[in-house]
Amino acid sequence: MYSKRGDDPRRQISSFFLFYPGKSPPQMAWMNHSTITEFILIGLSDNPHIEVLVFVLFLGIYLLTMMGNLMMLLVIRTDYRLHTPMYFFLSHLSFLDLCFSSVTEPKLLKDLLSKKKTISVEGCLTQVFFVFITAGTEACLLSVMTCDHYAAICHPLLYGQVMSSQFCVRLVLISWGLASFNSVVILLLALNLDFFMAQTIHNYTCDLPSLFPLSCSDISINIDILICSILLHGLGTFLPIFFSYTRIVSTILSISSTSGRSKAFSTCSSHLIAVTLFFGSGLIRYLMPTSGSSLGMLSSLQYSAVTPLLNPLIYSLKNQEVKAAVRTLAKILHYFR
């Protein structure tokens, strides 16, 4: 077909990349992508002695997270006084924190005791998907809980009519639905990435900011879509929180009773602390440069490990109803012993 060997376009392509070693032909990129089966995770430390201490620390954090959130679920389920919309949402928040911490922490604990810290490509993408679906649902649920506080404080006479059980269930289902849609978009972005032989993820877990620097694909569109997705989902859940609390604070300040203001502020302060911890660390992680910095690592630890641990403490230590329910449950358990 070709009169001269030099006329063969495949040979011309090979010659081009021979003289420009920084480039890679499409066939080579596809071959590199197809041969990569796993990534190497940097982890939190490469010192064996420090890794043992970190393992003990995060094992304690994970066990306390499981115990605290399971206790919240049990207390809310067994005490009829807590069968209200606010505690209905709080029980779902505890369930999400159980799922959220279980997506990343067991793998972290395993790697701390292993010399070879690797994760398969399929496992990495699965982790990316479940991190986004649990974190996205929690963001929506925190926003929904703010609307519940707004209805209870600003419109108490209409609260029972507005926050019906059917409406609360719909709000939870909508939260899962929006987060699932966003997670599917994120997963499609990750599936389209091609990779060179560089396999090291500068983090202890898989997420898109860590995968982008490893890709040999043009990731400009991926980054734009990720930022738009994070901003839309983040602003879509944070703006209702901001505007609701503007009205809530105004209403609380107009309450003449000191005890009434104190009770309302106590209820809202727990939620505000949880919102600040979650949104603050999440936005830092996904809107900062993908450089594998210590700040990125700390923000990942904050929203995936520390926040699920603190949430049950925040809502139980500052809530008299929950503390009373815990004491009642403890008495029942002691009686049956």
* Buried-exposed string 153-180: b where 16+ CB fall within 10 A, e elsewhere: beeeeebeeebeeeebeebbeebbebbe
Distance between CA 11 and CA 15 in Å, rounded?
6
Question: What does the pLDDT read at residue 130?
Answer: 92
For the chain (337 residues), the mean pLDDT of every run of 10, in chain order, is: 44 37 42 63 78 91 93 87 89 93 90 85 88 91 91 87 91 94 86 74 79 77 80 84 89 79 77 85 68 68 85 78 75 68
Question: What does the pLDDT read at residue 62?
Answer: 94
> Which tokens is 261 given?
């203001």
Cβ contacts of 140 within 8 Å, gap of 6 or more = 174, 175, 178, 179, 237
Question: What does the pLDDT read at residue 204?
Answer: 82
Q: Which of 211, 201, 55 lies closest to 125 in space, CA to CA?
A: 211
Determine what percent of the chain falls in helix, strand and coil, rounding each to the nearest 5.
Answer: 80, 5, 20
Task: Quickly tell me which residue has 């209905």 as its tokens.
Answer: 88
Whole-model pTM? 0.81
Cβ contacts of 5 within 8 Å, gap of 6 or more = 11
Contact 117, 38 (CB under 8 A): no
CA angle 188, 40, 99 (to 5 degrees): 55
Question: What does the pLDDT read at residue 287?
Answer: 67
Contact 141, 173 (CB under 8 A): no
Q: Which of 278, 251, 247 lies closest to 264 in space, CA to CA?
A: 251
> Which tokens is 145 given?
């809980």
Question: What does the pLDDT read at residue 25?
Answer: 44
Which H or E element spans position 283? helix 258-287
Contact 188, 285 (CB under 8 A): no
Which residues share a beta bridge with 215? 195
> Cα 47 from chain centroid?
28
Q: Which of 99, 98, 102 lies closest to 110 in space, CA to CA?
A: 102
